[in-house]
Amino acid sequence: MSIKHNRVLFIDRDGVINVRLIDDYVTKIEQFQFLPGVLEAIAAFSKLFDRIFIVTNQQGVAKGLMTEDDLKKIHAHMLAQIEQNGGNIDAVYYCHHHKLDNCECRKPKNGMFLQALKDYPDIKDSIYYMVGDTKSDMGFGKNIGATNVMIANSDSELNSNYNFVFPSLKKLSSDIHLVLG
């Protein structure tokens, strides 16, 4: 008898879903801008993956550039737009600590993954995929045993921890069959 494995997608936020502000942080809704094709890509992924989670480091909170409430408002706005365009995100996990705090939730550590497992026990023994554009994203994916997909844009930190590379989430969605096999 074969065991059905669920597919679970973890996606980074800044530089993958929305425009990354160079040397700055998205601190209010007005600064949040989806990258081209992202809403359509997430809608397509919602039909292929059993669960989708956004995992994002947001140390701007620890630096006092925004409050945790500001961050939650940005995420509520993002999720509403995704839903209005046919996509579904099961949860957004974020680390609001400073990178020097050495917390367990900051990528590349797996604290956000452990929280997702606690909140969604059905994802245990699933097939995991991580999509991101930084070394810490790929380290997170490696730490959770995921297939890593690097979004290689002009701000990407390329390294050897990825299995696939695409220029955008939009391009990944059109070629997702290459990743899923």
Asked if 14 is an active-site residue, the reply is yes
What backbone phi and psi angles, to 5 degrees, belong to 33?
A: -135, 120
CA distance 177 to 138: 20
Cβ neighbours, 10 Å, residue 124: 9
Asked if 70 is an active-site residue, the reply is no
> Residue 108: is the preceding peptide bond cis (ω within 30°)?
yes
CA distance 109 to 144: 9
CA distance 18 to 38: 8
**Positive or negative torsion for Cα 134, 137, 142, 146:** negative
User: What is the dihedral angle through the alpha carbons of 95, 64, 78, 125, rounded to the nearest 10 degrees?
Assistant: 0
Q: Which of 12, 90, 119, 125 is catalytic?
A: 12
Q: Which of 14, 23, 24, 70 is catalytic?
A: 14
> Can you give 20-58 as a three-state secondary structure string?
CCCCCCCCCHHHCCECCCHHHHHHHHHHHCCEEEEEEEC
Catalytic residue list:
12, 14
